[in-house]
């Protein structure tokens, strides 16, 4: 069914009055979206960015420039509509939904479901229990299920100080790569802090030695936001709603989701190849293409949100006149 619909959308593209494959990757994405939805005639008018917010105990080790109070502030700003992600979403006609899965402080969110007030410091103990890891994954699946009838497409993002550290640790464990190959500077660390960040991840992975299994990796070195995003991707496959992955943290979650479901990338759209080194490593491993090459490193799902207007333009062309309707001879593949 998936491949049949994909090919049917491709056939429609080839009839549209434009050169064959003229919109490149955007045509491929529209084919994928049709296959996910199971139909050739569909809309992407109802859009939302879903931002999972959580704190990470590992910031006690000096791996971030700011403290956990910033996570609560940004989560509240998403709720108020003043965060960067909220402003960008409003600009492209999308809603922006904050989901509190583990913010340390009390804050405002559209969906509140604290698993706990942040994770533990994984340099010294497991970040979370296996049960909490399962809760995070299930919450992501449930969130997509809750939104599936209200929206046509979702951008998946996160907010959590220290989460480029958890993302790099999860990616290193899942991809079997050295932390130095997937760890970046996050929000602009100095050379000294960057070296410390790699050292902390190295020591933690050596201490816990997580199995290449989603719950073990999450419980050892993960974050609730990463677990919930992995669940959101699995929810996309379960409920037939396309979702867009963002940058480093979102892609680390997608690598984990693939440990559960090997075909998960059939249901997830790549948005950008960000500045963090794990972006390239994850995209290459997943075989997922990015559309935007902007050296982005903001988070909050902003790279995924940026894809919305490009998809709107692609859909406008997809629904435009065909060669036959214009009484013109079309291109041949």
What is the model's pLDDT at position 25? 97
Q: What is the pLDDT of residue 236?
A: 98
> What's the rounded mean pLDDT across residues 183-207?
96
pLDDT in tens, 100-132: 999 999 999 999 999 999 999 999 999 999 999
Q: How confident is the model over 308-326, as a mean pLDDT?
A: 95
pLDDT value at residue 64: 96
pLDDT tens for 33-81 read 999 999 999 999 999 999 999 999 999 999 999 999 999 999 999 999 9
pLDDT of 187: 85
Indicate if the pLDDT at residue 195 is higher than 90.
Answer: yes
How high does pLDDT run on average in the chain? 97
User: Of 27, 61, 276, 300, which is the active-site residue?
Assistant: 300
Closest CA to 27 of 284, 267, 269, 225: 269
Residue 67: per-residue pLDDT: 94
Would you say residue 329 has pLDDT above 90? no
Quote the pLDDT of residue 93: 98
pLDDT on residue 317: 98
In the residue annotation, 300 being an active-site residue is answered as yes
pLDDT attached to residue 153: 98
Domain boundaries, the chain: 47-309
Closest among 57, 5, 58 to 32, alpha carbons compared: 5
Mean pLDDT of 181-201: 95
Can you give the pLDDT at residue 323?
A: 86
Question: How high is the pLDDT of residue 333?
Answer: 84
Query: How many Cα atoms sit within 13 Å of 82 on the Cβ side?
Result: 6
3 state SS for the chain: CHHHHHHHHHHHHHHECCCCCCCCHHHHHHHHHHHHHCCCCCCCCCEEEEEEEECCHHHHHCCCCCCCHHHHHHHHHHHHCCCHHHHHHHHCCEEEEEEEEECCCCCCCCEECCCCCCCCCCCCCCCCCHHHHHHHHHHHHHHHHHHCCCCCEEEEEEECCCHHHHHHHHHHHHHCCCHHHHCCCCCCCCHHHHHHHHHHHHHHHHHHCCCCCHHHHHHHHCCHHHHHHHHHHHHHHHHCCCEEECCHHHHHHHHHHHHHCCCHHHCEEECECCCCHHHHHHHHHHCCCCCECCCCCCCCCHHHHHHHHHHHHHHHHHCCCECCCCCCCCCCC
Cβ neighbours, 10 Å, residue 154: 28
Tens-place pLDDT, residues 233-275: 999 999 999 999 999 999 999 999 999 999 999 999 999 999 9
Which of residues 328 and 72 earns the better pLDDT score? 72
d(CA 266, CA 250): 16
How far is it, in rounded angstroms, from Cα 298 to Cα 246? 10
Mean pLDDT, to the nearest integer, of 15-34? Answer: 97
* CATH code for the part of the protein at 47-309: 3.40.50.10210
Q: pLDDT band for 192, please (50, 70, 90 cuts).
A: very high
Whether this prediction's pTM lies above 0.75 is answered by yes
What's the average model confidence in pLDDT over 168-191? 96
Q: Is the pLDDT of residue 331 over 90?
A: no
Which value, to the nearest 10 degrees, does the dihedral of the CA atoms of residues 258, 261, 267, 271 take? -10
pLDDT of res. 322: 87
Residue 328 has pLDDT above 90, yes or no: no
């Amino acid at each position: 069914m998936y491949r049949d619909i994909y090919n049917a959308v491709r056939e429609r593209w080839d009839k549209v009055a434009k050169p064959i494959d003229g919109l490149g990757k955007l045509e491929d994405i529209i084919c994928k979206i049709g296959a996910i939805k199971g139909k050739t005639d569909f809309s992407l008018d109802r859009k939302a960015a879903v931002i999972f917010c959580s704190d990470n105990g590992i910031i006690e080790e000096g791996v971030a420039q700011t403290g956990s109070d910033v996570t609560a502030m940004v989560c509240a700003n998403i709720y108020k509509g003043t965060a960067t992600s909220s402003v960008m979403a409003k600009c492209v006609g999308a809603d922006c939904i904050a989901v509190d899965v583990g913010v340390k402080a009390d804050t405002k969110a559209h969906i509140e479901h604290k698993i706990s007030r942040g994770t533990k410091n994984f340099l010294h103990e497991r970040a979370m229990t296996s049960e909490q890891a399962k809760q995070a994954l299930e919450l992501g699946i449930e969130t997509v299920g809750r939104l599936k009838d209200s929206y046509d497409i979702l951008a998946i993002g996160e907010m959590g100080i220290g989460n480029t550290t958890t993302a790099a640790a999860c990616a290193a464990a899942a991809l079997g790569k050295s932390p130095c190959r997937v760890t970046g500077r996050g929000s602009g660390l100095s050379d000294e802090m960057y070296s410390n960040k790699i050292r902390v991840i190295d020591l933690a992975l050596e201490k816990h030695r997580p199995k290449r299994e989603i719950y073990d990796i999450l419980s050892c070195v993960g974050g609730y936001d990463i677990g919930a995003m992995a669940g959101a991707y699995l929810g996309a496959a379960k409920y037939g709603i396309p979702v867009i992955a963002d940058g480093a943290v979102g892609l680390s979650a997608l690598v984990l989701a693939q440990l559960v479901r090997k075909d998960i990338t059939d249901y997830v759209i790549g948005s950008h190849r960000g500045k963090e080194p794990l972006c390239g490593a994850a995209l290459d491993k997943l075989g997922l293409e990015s559309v935007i090459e902007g050296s982005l490193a903001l988070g909050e799902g902003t790279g995924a949100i940026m894809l919305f207007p490009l998809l709107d333009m692609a859909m406008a062309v997809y629904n435009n006149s065909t060669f036959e309707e214009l009484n013109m001879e079309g291109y041949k593949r």
